[in-house]
Structure 1
Amino acid sequence: MIIFLVALAVSAVGFRRYIWFISIGYGFSIAAIGAALLVMFGVQGRLSVIPIIMSALLIVYGLRLGIYLLVREYRSASYHQVMQDAIDNGEHVTLPLKLLTWVGCALLYACEASPVLFRLDNHAGTDVMGIVGAAVMAGGIILESAADFTKNRFKQQHPDRFCDVGVFRLVRCPNYLGEVITWIGVFLSGVTVFDNAWQWIAAIGGFVCITWIMFGGARRLELRQNKEYGDDPAYRHYSKHTPILIPFIPLHSLANEKWLIG
């Protein structure tokens, strides 16, 4: 599959720094997949409105995330240290494990974006679910962008305090929520066009895996914030009354959910 090979090529940056397999390599892989879809099907004259929009959104999503993570890693010493502490920097990772991580990540990124490919490959036109999926995807990108912007601005003014303003009043991890909504949109866009079991498996597998990873990321952030702000009564009140990831659902903690990874 072409998009798998594209993701494999771009995510190879992880061999330079292990964390990049799942951070910078992730963002730029998704952007490259979006560009590849436009080029491949554009040359064949098989592009239609919804796939063009969704491929463009993949590019916007991936470039925004990749550039944001790249800039933050090089400009923020604290963020760099947090990531080094949270995830092995690669010095003790064997080559076989690096290869497995590389291939696994590329496969995940291809599966996440696969509904857009299947819509193009199956010659699907514009339908309601395609429009809904594109709109939901755009909303997720906007939410994730707003969350990152809000937290960056807040931390510049209050470097030693947890962020609880703007979209952080809705949930404690709005950036992860935005990520999940983005991929809900991508998945929804394809539910009317999948035409065999393998397409369903790829699309469902990509969506389930990224959702699991986002919940794991929320858990990891909660554990880190509990350690950093646990003695602050304001933080305890905030964490007790603000859902961690899903709005309006009283799920306030994932700390004990050790089956999650992120």
Structure 2
Amino acid sequence: MKTFFILLVIALAASACGFKKYVWFISLGYGFAIAAVGAGSLIIFHGNLTTGAVIQCALLIIYGIRLSGYLVYRDVKTAYNRRMKGEVKTNDEVSFGVKFAIWISVALLYVFQTSPAWFRLMDNRGTDAFCVAGVIISAFGIIFEATADLQKNSAKKKNPGQFVSSGLFSFVRCPNYLGEMINWTGVFISGLSIYHNATEWICAVIGYVGIIYVMFSGARRLEIRQDKNYGSDPNYQHYKSTTPIMVPFIPILPIMSSPKLRFLGIPLTGYPQNKSQR
């Protein structure tokens, strides 16, 4: 429990930037917190380091720094803030109580998401097949997500008013989210050999299911926004009808934009909305 609370404090400190601008809890603060927990785990468990554990924590650091760095670049160098004006509540519209609740909730989620990595270090379990498989899957997901971000940014520079359907976006409509899910699937898989009690299983499952929920919620919000912006474009309608929204090789999921799916629209979805709707 002591380790959990130390890492929670680290996540809280790293995501506290959200008090300046509340969406940062789930955008910049998200990346900062994941990187900080990865670095903190290496420091706390410096005596238990193995090759697999070090690589896994390094991937968390790389993931978090890349994400936050990209978000800063996007906000500073692109017209994202102007395009999103009116779509996201301003800082003054959110009470301190709501900010505090979001802060605590997301920090807990970030610690749970990363728990397979620090469980391995805490239990001094070394590098096994699940660790190796998880690291490979996570690395692929990070590269996939970063590639999608770069491709979308490049396409938007050339044609800001056009939806993106090239590169990885010809494979699925939300490759950013797909890469994110692949990354965290790898993190979860890496711990399948080390979850030895109910508490560890619960923490890992909450973290994994939580981020998957966030991704589907974000995809729904993006679907609604895309329909609003490009719904009258026959090219977009063709693209939408022939390209899976997020998970390849399964039905298109046209219900994602349905107003009935309100359970996919809670405030926690601000991170993926802010990340991909640029």
Q: Is the 8 A contact 1:241 1:252 kept in 2?
A: no
- Counterpart residue identity of residue 61, structure 1: Y
The aligned runs of 1:1-262 (5 Å cut-off) are 1=4, 2-42=6-46, 45-77=47-79, 79-253=80-254, 254-256=256-258, 257-261=261-265, 262=269
* Cα distance in 1 between the residues matched to 2:88 and 2:160: 23
* Cα distance in 2 between the residues matched to 1:135 and 1:56: 13
User: Structure 1 residues 20-29 or 248-257, which shifts more?
Assistant: 248-257
Q: Is the 8 A contact 2:117 2:187 kept in 1?
A: yes
* Cα distance in 2 between the residues matched to 1:89 and 1:113: 30
SS of the equivalent of 2:250 reads coil
* Cα distance in 2 between the residues matched to 1:180 and 1:229: 26
* Cα distance in 1 between the residues matched to 2:30 and 2:64: 8
- Counterpart residue identity of residue 4, structure 1: L
Segments ≥4 residues shifted beyond 4 Å: none
* Cα distance in 1 between the residues matched to 2:196 and 2:37: 21
With the length of structure 1 as denominator, give the TM-score of the two structures.
0.96
* Cα distance in 1 between the residues matched to 2:191 and 2:86: 38
Which ranges of structure 1 fall in alignment gaps of 5 or more residues?
none
* Cα distance in 2 between the residues matched to 1:85 and 1:129: 45
Which ranges of structure 2 fall in alignment gaps of 5 or more residues?
270-278
SS of the equivalent of 2:49 reads coil
Deviation at residue 20 of structure 1 after TM alignment: 0.2
- Counterpart residue identity of residue 123, structure 1: N
Q: Deviations over 1:15-38 (max 9, x none)?
A: 000110000000111011111111
Q: Deviations over 1:105-149 (max 9, x none)?
A: 110101000110101111112111111100100010011000000
* Cα distance in 1 between the residues matched to 2:263 and 2:82: 25
1:18 to 1:82, Cα distance in 2 relative to 1, 3 A: farther
Deviation at residue 235 of structure 1 after TM alignment: 0.3
Deviation at residue 83 of structure 1 after TM alignment: 4.2
RMSD: 1.1
Deviation at residue 75 of structure 1 after TM alignment: 2.1
With the length of structure 2 as denominator, give the TM-score of the two structures.
0.91
Deviation at residue 84 of structure 1 after TM alignment: 4.5
- Counterpart residue identity of residue 204, structure 1: V
- Counterpart residue identity of residue 71, structure 2: L
- Counterpart residue identity of residue 39, structure 1: I
Deviation at residue 86 of structure 1 after TM alignment: 3.0
Q: Is the 8 A contact 1:242 1:252 kept in 2?
A: no
* Cα distance in 2 between the residues matched to 1:118 and 1:151: 36
Identity percentage over the alignment? Answer: 47
Deviation at residue 82 of structure 1 after TM alignment: 4.4
Q: Is the 8 A contact 2:241 2:252 kept in 1?
A: no
